[in-house]
Amino acid sequence: MTSAAVELRGISKRFDAVVANDGVDLVLRRGTIHAVMGENGAGKSTLMSILFGLVRPDSGDIVVNGVERHFRGPLDAIAAGLGMVHQHFRLFDSMTVAENVVYGAEPTRRGSLDRKAAAARVRELSDRYGLETDPDAVVGRLSAGARQRVEILKALHRDAEILILDEPTAVLTPDEVDSLFAVLRRAADGGATVVLVTHKIHEVLAISDEVTVLRDARVTGRFRTAEATSGALVQAMTGREVREVGNPGTGEPGEVVLEVERLGVTDRGVHRVRDVSFSVRRGEIVGVAGVSGNGQHEVVAAILGTDPIESGTIRLLGRDLASLDVRRRRALGLAVVPEDRRGEGTAVTMSTAENLSLGHHRTPPIGASTGWRRGFLNLRAQRDMARRLIADYDVRTSGEKLPVGALSGGNAQKVVIARELSHDAPVLIAEQPTQGVDIGAIESIHQRLLDYRDQGGAVLLVSHEIAELQALADRVLVMFAGRIVAEYSRADASTERIGAAMAGAAEHRQAGEHEEAAS
Amino acid sequence: MTVSTGTEAPPEPRSAAARRLLGVAVRHPAVVPLGAVVLALLIGAVIIAAAGLDPLVAYAAVLEGALEPGSLDYTFSVWGFTCGMALAAAIPLRMGEFNLGGNGQLVLGGLAAVVVAGALPGPFAVPLALLAAAVLAGGFGAISAPLATRFKIPIIISTLLLSPVAVAVVSFLIRYPLAERGSGVAQTAQLPEDARMWRLPELSYSNVGLLVIIAMMIVFWIVDSRTAVGYELRVVGANRRFGAYGGIVVGRLALGAMAAAGAAAGIVGAIIVLSAPYRLIDGALLSPGYTFAGFAAALLAGGRPLLIPLTSVLFAVLQVGGAAMERSADVPRQLSDLLQGVVIVVLALRTVLDARRTGRSEH
């Protein structure tokens, strides 16, 4: 067994009343890939922030390469040989790969940046670790996978021997995930220590050497991956066995309730959505696959009415939505679970009860629509509805007065789902409904969507998770570069096909066909 | 393969517990506003000391000057006007908008009141004057909403730029068409007896106008906490995109908020001209600085209806006591303005730092 590169001993951290880490021990052996797993709110992000010097522990020791450390900030951690790749990239879009990589630790010649040396350094690192990158490319034009490689290069440039990656696969296509794992394996074989924070079990099994599982701020399992099973991991994460939710494939869907025809959306001169047409029927879940940023979000915003459209028509229950604002569209029968939970789906500083009442505040029982109390809120009805939804949707909270910002990601998402489903709208758009949500909550959210579908609801499900679409959708559309490039029936929706279409393969094929037809 | 069930939490060292308690205390929402006030007072003290005077004597003079029985009546009326102008700032602030046009709205209210009360003296003169002031100043404030919705001109900018226009127009009207004949001073004729604000027994400065302002504050509190409109204001203030996504028509809400803010400022202007000396004097509505003091009070209260009366006390005391300080401690009253300025800067700093911190913590 190799020696320990990092040892965390008895790490504890509280934020106000919330215990994030409670006596956590973690040993990272040199030259291994170590997965840190746990549901949202289990404390894995806090643990990594402590390791990287972003957060100071209340108690406990950090030992790096046999030396006890007290990090005052990330710079101390970097100096000790740690590097972190954050979930959301921290790069300068307008600068080149080489400039981004050396930023903060630049090779200089006569006081100014030595571009040649920077480019050479990037090439050297790229070759050593098999990270394909062009040092002179402008970061803003790169795909998510390429940007992530730049982040990894940044850490390697500073001689990081211990790499922390926080949910690195969330933004990647299946192919990009494979090449990331190859890079990480190569780095580990070369003596680096890799920590992978994730809640995806298949990734843990595919790439890691060892696993530490956290639940409720404590370590609930330590495994050697070769000896671990997915069942054991799930049990350690959730404390129980998780039932797989699947689409039971019920009867025939009903009439069309949402119809999008030749939709085009332009944002500051850039075509975000081109010529998109599809329809959703009652009792049907239509999945939309695609790597983030290929127009899915713009389609949702166009249907909801928060962003203007360039061309095309959208009909809801047979009615053209062109002249209707968001309020009228919602009143007509539309509910939306947005992608950006903190930025759009909730007001984190407001109470859970107030977050649950949006859209209910002008209709009985919360808002009186007639009589002398017209325009007033019934605060008791607001409280009662909040308590009922919190119980029905199993939101783990100390009460309806708690701000939504104090809830874990999964519980905040349950609040959004509860609010939107409680509108009893015939059409639901769910955008990344389980992103950043723990396994227990994923199961319950999936079941809610299926129940809603079975009661005759029409669902447009936008997701980056192919497995989620396979589990739930009756049909899967794939978006790439603003277009729908493929459609698969439930039976045909294999991971390989969807993955290839997400990466643009279908687009190329279609373009080729067009060229052939033209010639 | 081992599965540990977790260890007992080690007993916490005392210093860590103390630090945590401190951490909780430091994050309390009242800390920054209180800190701003304390910091302002400290800076003021340093300046007074640097001028070779005793800060304690000066501050004692402020308190004494504002709170001695003889001046309480006056302090009360200043407090009322500060509260009124704080409302004009707080209503849009609730939805995250800054109304910097209080001066223009204030003078337009005074103009409307003096014209209407002068034209229609009698039992209905006061209510009609207040109504006219609310309509004119409210309409003026409301202009900024479509400018923001249609032309993307931020409300903070359009109110700031439109305000001097209104002030200049009113100033012109006072000097020429509405000027009192035979008087060299830029002022309108005195309002007749039956077109003046009703008095309260035994008080010379405070009158029924103060009760009107208190009533407006109660209405704001009820609307804010108990109505759908107030809820929408708070939702949009907490997260504008969340509001728009939920179907709140933000433009219409801004229209209402700016109209209400303008109306509140206009009513303050009306009350001032309907009180002694019962005329519109050029510059007299602006020189006491109610707009700025009210803005600072609203900012300090975070727009919360129940805190505005408290924060307004601070600025009213500074305002009234500042004059006394000048007389008895030889410290210029501009120090009051300076203290207001420091409070605003510290609060603005908090907003910027908050934005940075949340930007950083969203990993």
According to DSSP, the residues that pair with A62 across neighbouring strands are: A8, A69
B60-90 pLDDT, tens digit each: 989 998 998 888 999 999 999 999 999 999 9
pLDDT of residue B223: 96
Q: What are the residues whose beta carbons fall under 8 Å from the beta carbon of B203, sequence distance 6 or more?
A: B73, B76
pLDDT band at A141 (very low <50, low <70, confident <90, very high): confident
Which of B260, B113, B257 has its CA nearest to residue B196? B113
Cα distances from B122 to residues A259, B117, B125, in angstroms, run 64, 8, 5
B327-339 pLDDT, tens digit each: 888 888 888 888 8
B300-350 pLDDT, tens digit each: 898 999 999 999 999 999 888 888 888 888 888 888 888 888 888 888 777
What is the distance between the alpha carbons of residues B167 and A155, in angstroms, rounded to a whole number? Answer: 59
Structural domains in chain B? 33-350 (1.10.3470)
Q: Put the strands of the sheet holding A162-166 in their side by side order.
A: A82-85, A162-166, A193-198, A33-38, A210-215, A218-224
What is the distance between the alpha carbons of residues B265 and A14, in angstroms, rounded to a whole number? Answer: 47
How large a percentage of chain B has pLDDT more than 70?
89
pLDDT of A429 higher than 90: yes
φ, ψ dihedrals at B286, nearest 5°: -95, -30
**Where would I find the H helices in B3-101?**
14-26, 31-50, 55-67, 69-94
pLDDT of B130 higher than 90: yes
What's the whole-number mean pLDDT along residues B134-161?
96
What's the whole-number mean pLDDT along residues A173-185?
85
pLDDT band at A510 (very low <50, low <70, confident <90, very high): very low
pLDDT of residue B354: 65
pLDDT of B55 higher than 50: yes
What are A238's two structure tokens?
């959730």
pLDDT of B360 higher than 50: no
Q: How far B147 CA lies from chain A's nearest CA (Å)?
A: 19
pLDDT of B34 higher than 70: yes
**Least confident window among A7-21, A67-81, A211-225, A332-346:** A7-21
**Least confident window among A132-141, B173-182, B215-224:** A132-141
- Identify the residue whose tokens are 């226009």: B165
Which of B163, B120, B133, B124 has its CA nearest to residue B265? B133
Cα distances from B168 to residues A10, A127, B107, B164, B173, in angstroms, run 69, 70, 10, 6, 9
Contact (Cβ atoms closer than 8 angstroms) between residue B303 and residue B94: yes
What is the distance between the alpha carbons of residues B115 and B136, in angstroms, rounded to a whole number? Answer: 12
* Partners of residue A222 in chain B, C-beta under 8 Å: 1-4
pLDDT of A478 higher than 80: yes
Q: What is the DSSP letter of A436?
A: T
> CB distance from A344 to chain B under 8 Å?
yes
Q: How far B91 CA lies from chain A's nearest CA (Å)?
A: 17
Q: Which amino acid is at A18?
A: V
pLDDT band at A24 (very low <50, low <70, confident <90, very high): very high
Chain B from 194 to 253: CB within 8 A of any A CB: 226-229, 231-232, 234-235, 238-239, 241-249
Q: What is the DSSP letter of A253?
A: -
Chain A from 126 to 155: CB within 8 A of any B CB: none
How large a percentage of chain B has pLDDT more than 90?
61
Contact (Cβ atoms closer than 8 angstroms) between residue B267 and residue B109: yes
Count of alpha carbons within 13 angstroms of residue A353, beta-carbon side: 19
Cα distances from B288 to residues A264, A459, B248, B314, in angstroms, run 56, 61, 38, 15
pLDDT of residue B211: 96
Buried/exposed A265-281: b ≥16 CB within 10 Å, e otherwise: bbeeeebbbbebebbbb
pLDDT of A196 higher than 60: yes
Give, in degrees to the nearest 5, the angle at Cα A449 between A337 and A276.
60
What's the pTM value of the predicted model, to 2 decimals?
0.74
What is the distance between the alpha carbons of residues B95 and B253, in angstroms, rounded to a whole number? Answer: 9
Tell me whether residue B184 is exposed, middle or buried, using C-beta atoms within 10 angstroms of its C-beta: 0 to 12, 13 to 18, 19 or more.
exposed
Query: Under an 8 A CB cutoff, do A221 and B3 touch?
Result: yes
* Partners of residue A370 in chain B, C-beta under 8 Å: none
Count of alpha carbons within 13 angstroms of residue B283, beta-carbon side: 4
What's the whole-number mean pLDDT along residues B156-183?
94
What is the distance between the alpha carbons of residues B294 and B92, in angstroms, rounded to a whole number? Answer: 13
What is the distance between the alpha carbons of residues B170 and B172, in angstroms, rounded to a whole number? Answer: 5
Query: Under an 8 A CB cutoff, do B238 and A218 touch?
Result: no
pLDDT of residue A513: 43
According to DSSP, the residues that pair with A11 across neighbouring strands are: A24
Buried/exposed B9-24: b ≥16 CB within 10 Å, e otherwise: beeeeeeeeeeeeeee
* Partners of residue B20 in chain A, C-beta under 8 Å: 14, 58
Q: How far A517 CA lies from chain B's nearest CA (Å)?
A: 43
Query: Under an 8 A CB cutoff, do B245 and A376 touch?
Result: no
pLDDT band at B1 (very low <50, low <70, confident <90, very high): very low
What's the whole-number mean pLDDT along residues B132-140?
98
Cα distances from A343 to residues A297, A307, A321, B240, B253, in angstroms, run 14, 15, 25, 9, 20
pLDDT of residue B338: 84
What is the distance between the alpha carbons of residues B117 and B187, in angstroms, rounded to a whole number? Answer: 15
What is the distance between the alpha carbons of residues B76 and B72, in angstroms, rounded to a whole number? Answer: 6
What's the whole-number mean pLDDT along residues B118-144?
96
- Identify the residue whose tokens are 């790229």: A126
What is the distance between the alpha carbons of residues A255 and A237, in angstroms, rounded to a whole number? Answer: 42
What's the whole-number mean pLDDT along residues B140-156?
95
Which of B107, B64, B52 has its CA nearest to residue B266? B107
What are A103's two structure tokens?
């930023």
What are A158's two structure tokens?
């500073």
Q: Which H or E run contains B206?
A: none
Query: Under an 8 A CB cutoff, do A336 and B244 touch?
Result: no
A125-137 pLDDT, tens digit each: 888 888 888 888 8
Of B227, B229, B235, the CB nearest to A350: B235
Tell me whether residue B248 is exposed, middle or buried, using C-beta atoms within 10 angstroms of its C-beta: 0 to 12, 13 to 18, 19 or more.
buried
Query: Under an 8 A CB cutoff, do A220 and B6 touch?
Result: yes
Q: What is chain B's percent helix, strand, coil content, to nearest 5?
A: 70, 0, 25
- Identify the residue whose tokens are 């209503």: B91
Average pLDDT, chain A: 87
pLDDT of A506 higher than 70: no
> CB distance from B150 to chain A under 8 Å?
no
Which of B264, B281, B276, B164 has its CA nearest to residue B220? B264
DSSP, collapsed to helix, strand or coil, labels residue A196 as: strand
Structural domains in chain A? 4-238 (3.40.50.300), 256-338+425-518 (3.40.50.300)
Q: Closest chain B residue to A85 measured between Cα atoms?
A: B363
Q: How far B219 CA lies from chain A's nearest CA (Å)?
A: 13
Q: What are the residues whose beta carbons fall under 8 Å from the beta carbon of B301, sequence distance 6 or more?
A: B33, B86, B90, B307, B308, B310, B311
What's the whole-number mean pLDDT along residues A172-192?
86
What's the whole-number mean pLDDT along residues B277-286?
92
pLDDT of A2 higher than 80: no
What are A383's two structure tokens?
């409280």
Q: How far B3 CA lies from chain A's nearest CA (Å)?
A: 5
pLDDT band at B19 (very low <50, low <70, confident <90, very high): low
Top-confidence residue, B202 or A309: A309
Contact (Cβ atoms closer than 8 angstroms) between residue A446 and residue A470: no
Residue pairs spanning A and B at CB distance below 8 A? 126
Buried/exposed A472-491: b ≥16 CB within 10 Å, e otherwise: bbbbbbbbbebbbbbbbebe
Pairing of strands A284-289, A458-462: parallel
Q: What is the dihedral of CA A175, A177, A179, A180, to 10 degrees?
A: 160
Is the torsion defined by CA of A167, A168, A174, A180 positive or negative?
negative
Query: Under an 8 A CB cutoff, do A358 and B228 touch?
Result: no
What is the distance between the alpha carbons of residues A330 and B175, in angstroms, rounded to a whole number? Answer: 54
φ, ψ dihedrals at A486, nearest 5°: -160, 155
Q: What is the DSSP letter of A345?
A: I
- Identify the residue whose tokens are 């401190």: B22
Pairing of strands A284-289, A319-320: unpaired
Q: Which amino acid is at A176?
A: E
Cβ atoms within 10 A of the Cβ of B197, count? 25
Cβ atoms within 10 A of the Cβ of B54, count? 14
pLDDT of residue A125: 87
Top-confidence residue, A60 or B4: A60
- Identify the residue whose tokens are 């979000």: A297
φ, ψ dihedrals at B111, nearest 5°: -60, -50
According to DSSP, the residues that pair with A490 across neighbouring strands are: none
φ, ψ dihedrals at B263, nearest 5°: -60, -40
Interface test with B, best of A8, A11, A13, A14 (most B CBs within 10 A): A14
What are B207's two structure tokens?
């009158």
